[in-house]
Structure 1
Amino acid sequence: MEHKIDLIALLTYVDPAYLSYQEWVNVGMALKYEGYTASEWDDWSKRDSGRYRPGECFKKWTTFEGSGKPVTGATITQMAKDNGWLPRSSDREDHELGWEDEIASDYVIVDKNWIEGKEIHEPKDWNPLQQITTYLQTLFEASENVGYVTDTWQNDDGKYLPTKGAYDRTAGELIELLHKGSGDIGEVFGDYDPAAGAWIRFNPLDGKGVKNENVTEFRYALVESDTMEIEKQNAIMRELELPIAVMVYSGGKSLHAIVRVEAANYDEYRKRVDYLYNVCKRNGLNIDNQNRNPSRLSRMPGIERNGKKQFIVDTNLGKSSWAEWHEWIEGVNDDLPDPESLENSWDNMPQLAPPLIHGVLRQGHKLLLAGPSKAGKSFSLIELSIAIAEGIKWLSWQCAQGRVLYVNLELDSASCLHRFRDVYTAFGLPPRNIGNIDIWNLRGKSVPMDKLAPKLIRRAAKKNYIAVIVDPIYKVLTGDENSADQMAHFTNQFDKIATELGASVIYCHHHSKGAQGGKKSMDRASGSGVFARDPDALIDLVELDITEALLKQEENKAICAVYKRFFQQYNPEYLRNSVSQDDLLSAKEMEEHSRRAIYNTEQAAAHAEIQRVLEAVRGRSAWRVEGTLREYAKFKPVNMWFDYPVHRIDEVGSLKDIDPEGESSQPPWKKATDKRKGKADKERRSKAEEFEDVVDNCNFGEPPTVKDIIEWYASTGKEVAERTVRDWVKKFGYMIDKNNGNVIVKVDSDDND
């Protein structure tokens, strides 16, 4: 059965008084489209007493004939979200997360069915003067204008409603007049109708009017609920630790809590009130949304209404400020598990997650692949995707078989698909289980990781992936990669994905600038150390410094392999009887044999093939794979060749004694000296290196403009002038390419000669 949201319930979050005429019409059109009645639209519209006209909804309803682009229930859902509604977790249990759904706490603290009521007590010595004076002194500065209403009128239903009232006197003036008078509030505020009571505005005004734009300080909000017993209202407000400045009994069915929200402006006020009301509603206080107005009237204490007194119940309740209360609310709703007793688990240990990559990574854990450019990191992740799909080895490690999602952020769709097929072909693998691989192509459509994570979870929720591979992360990186707290927030998104899907999350990142050979694997990734500490497994690629002698040796192997293949095809008997084991290892000897073993046409084909493989050998790069693991013992370094488009393990050990680039054999004293020097260099990272990093990364790998550089520095809190950037361009070996959009490019060394 399709999950359907109750739109009428959502409309409790939407106040018609705050909507434009077109927005009000859109609500009606959406209700009609979704099968609701005109009466339901009319009932909701009555909440806007200022603009409501009997019969108008029914007349308008008949004009809604539908269109090619109908207004649907999604319009009301979005309005409700904008006003504080969040989908409950119980709503999510039987349907997939929506595209824009957020994974959020319910902020439930109070069970209203079990909480005991707390009585309120009318003051024994009734002193109206003291009541209103305490109210004014608690909420206002002496110089601030106060709005209040004592004049009323009755509508057709006999309900007493306030007029615009007064707003041109300060709190100090009112208090002074009250104490100079005879003790009669009416002398200062004006006589009021005892059947109706009187009202007062809880935020200061500018003395020119009583609308929202006349509010000078967005200091307080009104929390009122008249759908439950007074005693329970009192208990829940106190249990929620609301930062209440003054709590007033209305003389009717409710308490009026004047809550500190301490907003800097109207926009912040709305957001904070939405948050406040959301918490209250989730804990049983069904608040009227009309109370959101910052210039809203509340009941004035020290007044009698229909034989009942409007009085202050208490002052300065709960937390002392909005900030303290907000931090407390977030803290008690942290969704963290309770501590576990080791004693309870000692004899019944939980089962460990099964391995995804044997000896390296468990399912549901995180892996970071780090390396420099030219290492073929993306090809390596494609190889890993295939290894998981087919249940075969990746590099030196056996992989579990299952479904994998490859999130492609960098390549266009066609290039990415071709790469997968090229890797299958290069390895000679039959595509038996390509149905296990899903590719999500997001080039040009990627969003920051904290926005992408819920969308990814929604898409992958029922696919049973055992791995999600994100390639590369610089496309979704937010904040300064050298900031530990910002990168911790970034990497936490991978935890959310792993936790929600039960899948391993694998992602790649680039090395920092400079030689990497002398560093530990966990120190090579660019940016904050969070990148190295966060994953459960860090696989690092460092390039090896290939010697000319090694290349000659590899060329010899390649030539021998070509001749052997041709002999096997065209003269296998000669290969068995006339070619020794030593000959099989010598390119020169195999060439001599070819003159006797195969015809000239086959020799020509062999020579053409040899030229091809020699070019491939010269195009190879050599790499050492090292790692830092959390769940498994450290593995021995793995050496491999990157023979485009795949990586091949060095099975014969040709690379075992090769040093990484930037590292050479040195005496101990020299290594110690270099280590101290390197540490000092690292601590005083040069401006040139910093500028090079900014140019390489501030525009997601594309050449930036001067404006891009300035905006990147601004995002880190550092203001840099345009003239300064242009000076750096010249000073650090760059130029502004005026023929290609004024982008900043590196000046070739030849251009400097």
Structure 2
Amino acid sequence: MEHKLDLLALLDYVDPSFLDYQEWLQVGMALKHEGYTASNWEDWSKRDVGRYRPGECFKKWTGFEGGGITGATITQMAKDNGWQSRSADSHELGWNDEISHESDYTFIDKNWIEGQEIKEPTVWNPVKEMTRYLETLFEASENVGYVVGTWQTEDGKFLPTKGNWDRTAGELIQLLNEANEDPGQVLGDYNKEAGAWIRFNPLDGQGVKNENVTEFRYALVESDTMDLEKQNAIIRELDLPIAALVYSGKKSIHAIVKVDAANYDEYRKRVDYLYDVCKKNGLNIDSQNRNPSRLSRMPGVERNGKKQFVIDTNIGKANWEEWHEWIEGINDDLPDPENLTDYWQDMPQLAPPLIHGVLRQGHKMLMAGPSKAGKSFALIELSIGIAEGRDWLGWTCTKGKVLYVNLELDRASCLHRFKDVYESLGWQPDHVNNIDIWNLRGKSVPMDKLAPKLIRRAAKKNYIAVIIDPIYKVLTGDENSADQMAHFTNQFDKVCTELGSSVIYCHHHSKGSQGGKKSMDRASGSGVFARDPDALIDLVELDMTETLTKQQSDRAACDVYTSYFKKYNFDYFDEHVGQDDVLSPAQMKTHAENGLKAHLPVIEKEVEKAVHLAKVKSAWRIEGTLREYPKFDPINMWFQYPIHKVDEAGILKDINPGEEQAPWKKNFGKKKSPQEKKQEQKESFELAYESCTIDGAVTLEAMAEFMGVSPKTVRNRVTNHGGFWITNGEIGRKPDK
């Protein structure tokens, strides 16, 4: 399988100063089609010092819409200039490869194909050759273009004139049959050194240009750099839907292939596809034959002592659709359908659980939630739970190795978080060697580029889980576009398949109230995010009332007093402290003044700290959607930095999500102040900047594309923010004062 390649590396083989204007544009179109930026095109274009114009690439870029130009154009340019791909037998991932299950349409090795002989007609009948060709390709009423006249260049080469185009196929067939085996009486005499030509698509009788073609029925496949017998063998092995196969009288065979396109645009796409398949299977095609009005060799004439004749007609697949389906079918890497009977009594073993009751190994899980939910801490807790084989939010984890891909925190902060969580959980790091951390802050790349790098590093580590936090750093495309997000999430499938491990990632909620939504509708962007993973774990905040907050802070204070009594003066506690007293901070303080005088200063500091932590902790509810397991009941929990604790006491059972409002209140939300709007815009800009950081460089164009605004708007926001600079289309963060 040939993997998608880094087009920027391939452009090292393509000098823009040697390209014409159209080829230069095609490079830009190909880069845009494959997800690169205008800056990439501009940087490469700068190599043409004589013709480079600053800013021109960005102006052209916005006008590129479709056109069918893909990365294959750049690949071919690189090949033409000496680049060679890896061996087709090699499957080792390169640094910049994109993992792709798309076929490269290669199924013939020309080195192992034996040539197939071309047999010249035993009885030479020029009229029969011509009429056979005309009857095969044309309707009787269709105009046919043909050329018998030639002119000679300075180097002695014979070239065709415009020829004729005002006769129908039926008229020509009738006249040829009346010509006593002398086609010259009908077509005119031709130069026997040069031969004669014919156009394989019908014309309108007004000319011989592409616009004069009335039916885009056929395309020409010709190769003049290979052995004739080898050409014949490969053409037949490809099973092309050929209407007529003609020997040119010299170095090539002309295959008139049925493409049956509805219009010129479809014709171009089908011919590109046809040529691509032929080239990949060893047929060195003359790419200049793409035009639908192209001339081909006319059978029934001689050329420098050799005959031009029809080798065969109507061979291969019956039509384009059948051939196209066959090509796609034999090249896909999909498994064959299976009959249920074969496995009814011997079902395959299910993948073992990773998180019991939630997720199996090798499957995908998404954690979604708003800011302040501690999603990163929850994923660190999960990493530790898997490494130690312990519980996570009430679910048992299978013990094994885990890779935590850190895209957001600096290295030191990330490492400290893991240690802080271990200590807050009160767990010993008995199996901390099961945790690997890949720190990529400031070095993140789009997911389709990150996936092969990740797989290459993780291939022999036997991870049972890969945790990616957060995905906005590697997000490609518009998160509201279903097809673009499907391509994005497919990268997780590839990681799962290649490594056999689960992939777990987190994403943020969409804007607005979430309380009234189902768990799978809260994640921001396309519904693909919620429907793609095998398990969706969603966090929604619960409304911490003043009463509940006071209750929690009182309990925290009383717990401190109780712990000190049990440690230093249990006799006093047992004799004097009643059941109601342990619920009152004031009563417990009075008891401490009598029974714990020596420890009172330390106790008061501990109480103050505990009360503060109780006041700032938040309450959350976990809901979910599972593919492999039954739906679980909502789980309520506390987030008290840096860990989450399940609400075993049921205190939060009847609390509603904090954003859930009564219907009559929904249209009377508090308007944001100008300061709040400005702060929100600042945060949005900073998020976009972080997301566009690739190898430390952020361009104006990339920011505009990510934010969905114009470059001018981005410039204004740079100015309004005050913490960034912009120079020559590059944006950077100002150093802290």
One fold, TM greater than 0.5? yes
Local SS of the residue matching 1:701:
helix
Local SS of the residue matching 1:607:
helix
1: CA distance, partners of 2:437 / 2:147: 62
Quick check: 564-573 or 329-338, which moved more?
A: 564-573
2: CA distance, partners of 1:78 / 1:229: 27
- Please name the residue that 2:90 is paired with: 91
Q: CA deviation at 1:121?
A: 7.2
Quick check: 288-297 or 627-636, which moved more?
A: 288-297
Q: CA deviation at 1:404?
A: 1.7
- 1:395 equivalent to 2:393? Answer yes
- 1:656 equivalent to 2:653? Answer yes
Local SS of the residue matching 1:335:
coil
Of 289, 293, 309, 1:311 maps to: 309
Q: CA deviation at 1:299?
A: 5.1
- Please name the residue that 1:125 is paired with: 125
Aligned amino acid, residue 505 of structure 2? Y
Q: CA deviation at 1:478?
A: 3.0
Aligned amino acid, residue 125 of structure 1? N
Tell me: CA distance 1:351–1:301, structure 2 relative to 1, closer, same or farther (3 Å): same
Q: CA deviation at 1:383?
A: 1.4
Tell me: CA distance 1:634–1:136, structure 2 relative to 1, closer, same or farther (3 Å): closer
Of 664, 678, 702, 2:688 maps to: 702
Tell me: CA distance 1:188–1:523, structure 2 relative to 1, closer, same or farther (3 Å): same
1: CA distance, partners of 2:97 / 2:167: 52
Tell me if the contact between 1:260 and 1:322 (Cα under 8 Å) persists in the aligned partners: yes
Tell me: CA distance 1:348–1:136, structure 2 relative to 1, closer, same or farther (3 Å): closer
2: CA distance, partners of 1:698 / 1:234: 62
- Please name the residue that 1:487 is paired with: 485
Superposition TM-score, scaled by structure 1 size: 0.66
- Please name the residue that 1:470 is paired with: 468
1: CA distance, partners of 2:682 / 2:326: 42
Q: CA deviation at 1:126?
A: 1.9
Tell me: CA distance 1:563–1:403, structure 2 relative to 1, closer, same or farther (3 Å): same
- 1:740 equivalent to 2:721? Answer yes
- 1:630 equivalent to 2:627? Answer yes
Tell me if the contact between 2:364 and 2:535 (Cα under 8 Å) persists in the aligned partners: yes
Of 424, 427, 430, 1:426 maps to: 424
- Please name the residue that 1:404 is paired with: 402
- Please name the residue that 1:541 is paired with: 539
- Please name the residue that 1:7 is paired with: none
1: CA distance, partners of 2:262 / 2:429: 60
Q: CA deviation at 1:436?
A: 2.3
2: CA distance, partners of 1:78 / 1:117: 32
Q: How many residues align?
A: 619
Tell me if the contact between 1:360 and 1:631 (Cα under 8 Å) persists in the aligned partners: yes
Aligned amino acid, residue 163 of structure 1? K
Tell me if the contact between 1:148 and 1:199 (Cα under 8 Å) persists in the aligned partners: no
- Please name the residue that 1:336 is paired with: 334
Q: CA deviation at 1:654?
A: 1.7
2: CA distance, partners of 1:643 / 1:185: 99
Local SS of the residue matching 1:481:
coil
Tell me: CA distance 1:337–1:133, structure 2 relative to 1, closer, same or farther (3 Å): closer
1: CA distance, partners of 2:132 / 2:682: 67
Q: CA deviation at 1:695?
A: 6.9
- Please name the residue that 1:506 is paired with: 504
Matches within 5 A, 1:287-306: 287-288=283-284, 301-305=299-303
Q: CA deviation at 1:555?
A: 0.8
- Please name the residue that 1:646 is paired with: 643
Local SS of the residue matching 2:420:
helix
Aligned amino acid, residue 740 of structure 1? H
Tell me: CA distance 1:102–1:489, structure 2 relative to 1, closer, same or farther (3 Å): closer
- Please name the residue that 1:603 is paired with: 600
Partner deviation per Cα, 1:145-173 (whole Å, 9 max, x = no partner)? 989978699xxxxxxx9727356667569
Q: CA deviation at 1:359?
A: 0.9
- 1:615 equivalent to 2:609? Answer no
1: CA distance, partners of 2:186 / 2:409: 76
Alignment RMSD, CA only? 5.6
Tell me: CA distance 1:191–1:610, structure 2 relative to 1, closer, same or farther (3 Å): same
> Which sections of structure 1, spanning at least 5 residues, go unmatched?
1-12, 24-74, 154-160, 205-216, 667-673, 682-690, 715-719, 727-734, 744-753
2: CA distance, partners of 1:362 / 1:246: 56
- 1:165 equivalent to 2:159? Answer yes
- Please name the residue that 1:366 is paired with: 364
2: CA distance, partners of 1:520 / 1:149: 75
Tell me: CA distance 1:408–1:454, structure 2 relative to 1, closer, same or farther (3 Å): same
2: CA distance, partners of 1:148 / 1:561: 106
Q: CA deviation at 1:592?
A: 1.4
2: CA distance, partners of 1:456 / 1:77: 28
Aligned amino acid, residue 721 of structure 2? N
Tell me if the contact between 2:636 and 2:646 (Cα under 8 Å) persists in the aligned partners: yes
2: CA distance, partners of 1:100 / 1:420: 32
Local SS of the residue matching 2:334:
coil
Matches within 5 A, 1:168-179: none
Tell me if the contact between 1:641 and 1:648 (Cα under 8 Å) persists in the aligned partners: yes
Tell me: CA distance 1:275–1:415, structure 2 relative to 1, closer, same or farther (3 Å): farther
Tell me: CA distance 1:101–1:163, structure 2 relative to 1, closer, same or farther (3 Å): farther
Tell me if the contact between 2:99 and 2:494 (Cα under 8 Å) persists in the aligned partners: no
1: CA distance, partners of 2:542 / 2:362: 32
Q: CA deviation at 1:336?
A: 1.6
